[in-house]
């Protein structure tokens, strides 16, 4: 059964996928940092963007949830893109690092830290790509 992207259920499925992936755990062993992943268009039919929070720490996702007020947390990284870009990333059509470099993904935070951990980003995408997602 597919899970609608940008919902509580999808964020929980992403957390479970990351935490059950030996490849992600290995690739992200040295990673420390939390994220807001923001869908910048109003694709959910509402009046605001979709904000998904993930606390990633040494190959584990310690917490993941939808956030309704961006001031709720102060993540180290904020990655923003329209729904079609997120879909391209999770369907394997757009590499997340290339998306950042071409500004299809807009990053606030230490870009060099992310560029030093490309395998972690790739494995995270691979985990999320495995979720049966309804776009």
For range 4-18, the mean pLDDT: 96
Instruction: Please say if the pLDDT value at position 44 is more than 50.
Output: no
Mean per-residue pLDDT, 4-13: 96
What's the pLDDT tens digit per position in 65-123? 999 999 999 999 999 999 999 999 999 899 988 998 999 999 999 989 988 988 998 99
- What tokens appear for 7 in the block? 């919902």
Three-class SS of residue 95? coil
Q: Classify residue 135: in a domain, yes or no.
A: no
Residue 93 within a domain: yes
Residue 47 confidence (pLDDT) above 60:
no
pLDDT surpasses 70 at 6: yes
pLDDT tens-place string over residues 14-28: 999 999 999 999 999
Domain-embedded: residue 133: no
- Structural domain contains residue 119: yes
pLDDT(50) > 60: yes
- Per-residue pLDDT, 1: 84
Residue 95, domain member (yes or no) = yes
What does the pLDDT read at residue 48? 65
- 113 within some domain: yes
Number of folded domains that form the chain: 1
Mean pLDDT of 4-16: 96
Per-residue 3-state assignment (H helix, E strand, C coil) for 5-65: CCCHHHHHHHHHHHHCCHHHHHHCCCCEEEEEEEECCCCCCCCCCEEEEEEEECCEEEEEE
Joined tokens for residue 129:
């790509």
Asked whether residue 134 is assigned to any structural domain, the reply reads no
Q: What is the CATH number of the domain that holds 66?
A: 3.30.1050.10
């Amino acid at each position: 059964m597919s899970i609608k992207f940008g919902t509580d259920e999808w964020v929980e499925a992403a957390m479970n996928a990351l935490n059950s992936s030996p490849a992600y755990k290995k690739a992200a062993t040295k990673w420390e940092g939390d994220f807001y992943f923001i869908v910048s268009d109003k694709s959910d039919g509402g009046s605001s963007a979709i904000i998904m929070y993930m606390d990633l720490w040494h190959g584990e996702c310690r917490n993941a949830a939808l956030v309704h007020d961006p001031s709720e947390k102060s993540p180290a990284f904020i990655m923003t893109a329209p729904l079609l870009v997120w879909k391209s990333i999770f369907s394997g059509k757009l590499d997340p690092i290339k998306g950042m470099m071409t500004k299809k993904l807009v990053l606030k935070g230490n870009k060099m830290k992310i560029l030093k951990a490309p395998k972690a980003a790739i494995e995270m995408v691979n985990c999320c790509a495995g979720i049966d997602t309804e776009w």
